Structure 1
């Protein structure tokens, strides 16, 4: 069965350009809806709400609509008025042709009376209206009411109703008790009729088929279910592509159970785990104007993954993180997705980094000493080599023989 979704609300808010945050009126009739939902989340400023001709059984998801003035739930399966105590601005209620019976009438009217501005109420076509004291009892229970079932309430009507209220209340409780007794008798009779000879089963089945089905919540719901199935069948025949099964998303795990590291969307990314002692950062460059609803972020203590329109980008983390303290944001300038992840053992990491820095510093000092020692040794070797050369030159000079008879050069 159809449900109220954000897409449905936007499609019904075309007169407001699809904007839900400031929407004041919406029509959701004839959608075979079974439940009221999401209105408190997306449409907090509704003033007029049409939900007639559905199969809604319970009034819920309405109490936070503080500005709601008119609620139409005609032609539904409502059996009790409830869940509207927070609707401070409610002026008009329409429950035409529902299933509010005598058993729930008193509680329903008391709940409706908690709406201080309620002026109009429609209960035509409900089982409770068959009671002769229904109108006077309703007028007396909801003193602020000005019109009931389209008929104005005069001061005379109000005085008459208040005078008869006590007697009507006694009569109502008596009728409820009598009805409960009658229901028990009918159930016993049905149980007795269920035990029949084998030869008369076919005859009884034929009688049931010919018997006119009563108009109840169950029969009405069944009728709407059949209508919805027929509607869906025709829609499938008309638009088969619309009902195709969506493509399966790629697995996050390899066949051996390990996490996949992948970037199916080919987006640029940065993973910074050692720049900050307490935080790890993952930045994914998604298109600036892409709607955030297309992004699905999954943070695990040992890995992080982002699906962008179904395409998976996933990386393992070298350092375990605290998921609850992680933050996910989008850059207002570039649109990039930024995930800030709190490291699990920040203190130990600080010690590790300090130790590593000290070791690196010590290594640099040792390398520097070794370099200086090497340079010193090279200098010493050069000096030794120079000394050897000088000694050789001196020795050669001493060994040189002079000739006195050789004339000097001119």
Structure 2
């Protein structure tokens, strides 16, 4: 069972059946997450493109696997103790820090593009992560991903990353697994023999920026 709604707020959701598994409330003017405490079976929650400033009132959503909060006004990560989430999007918010994901060890996909993040941190415990998107932030280096041995897609484009050698050292754990990497619009992507160097780092790479390899 799923529910898609147009709302100015979440008031009234308390009357929705507690068997609901998917709730879509994107592209509205919702300012507060509320009246969803009883939705214990909820697996997907979509609240993108609203006016949310705070992540709250989700502690009872213990079966939640996908949380989509892109295009809001959130400044701080607060997953309310949830540990089963597999897909999480906080793209286009106002985050300055990546702290707050440490206990989400089931995470497989994490989308954090278009924020103000200056440092990669809090990632070392996310050993199931397959997709990491931190493009369009304020990163100058790649950090805290050495343990991510399942990583397949890494989006780092549109930052201020200086060193390809630093990328190589940081991604040592996923060197064999990584198939896609985006580094364009970083200083390091302007270096001589950029594509050849990246292909040497990651022997099974299939795509670097817009370049696709057989």
Give your verdict on TM over 0.5. yes
For the superposition of Structure 1 and Structure 2, which TM-score range results when normalised by the shorter chain? Answer: 0.5 to 0.7
Question: What per-residue deviation string (whole Å, max 9, x for no partner) do you get for residues 32-56 of structure 1?
Answer: 2111112112x21011101000111
Quick check: 1:6–1:38 contact (8 Å CA) kept in 2? Answer: no
Alignment of 1:2-401 (within 5 A): 7=56, 20-41=82-103, 43-101=104-162, 104-115=163-174, 116-154=176-214
Q: Secondary structure at the match of 2:132?
A: strand
TM-aligned CA distance change 1:5 to 1:108, over 3 Å? farther
In structure 2, the CA distance between the partners of 1:9 and 1:108, relative to structure 1 (3 Å rule), is farther
- The alpha carbon displacement at 1:8 in A equals 8.4
3-state SS in 1 of match to 2:196? helix
Normalized against structure 1, the TM-score is what? 0.33
Deviations 1:363-407 (A, max 9, x none): xxxxxxxxxxxxxxxxxxxxxxxxxxxxxxxxxxxxxxxxxxxxx
Q: Name which structure has the greater RCO, CA cutoff 8 Å, separation 6+.
A: 2
SS in 2 for 1:40: coil
Question: CA-to-partner distance for each residue in 1:39-91, whole Å, 9 max, x for gaps?
Answer: 112x2101110100011111110011111110000100111112111112111
Gaps of 5+ in 1: 155-410
Distance 1:46 1:147, change over 3 A: same
Number of positions where the alignment pairs a residue of Structure 1 with one of Structure 2: 147
- Bigger Rg, which one: 1
* Structure 1 residues 25 and 8, CA gap change in structure 2 (3 angstroms): farther
The structure richer in helix per residue is: 1
Structure 1 residues 55 and 143: alpha-carbon distance in aligned structure 2, compared to 1, 3 A threshold: same
| 1:314-338, Cα deviation, whole Å (9 max, x unpaired) | xxxxxxxxxxxxxxxxxxxxxxxxx
The DSSP-based 3-state class of the residue aligned with 2:83 is coil
Q: Superposition RMSD on alpha carbons, in Å? A: 2.9
Deviations 1:248-289 (A, max 9, x none): xxxxxxxxxxxxxxxxxxxxxxxxxxxxxxxxxxxxxxxxxx
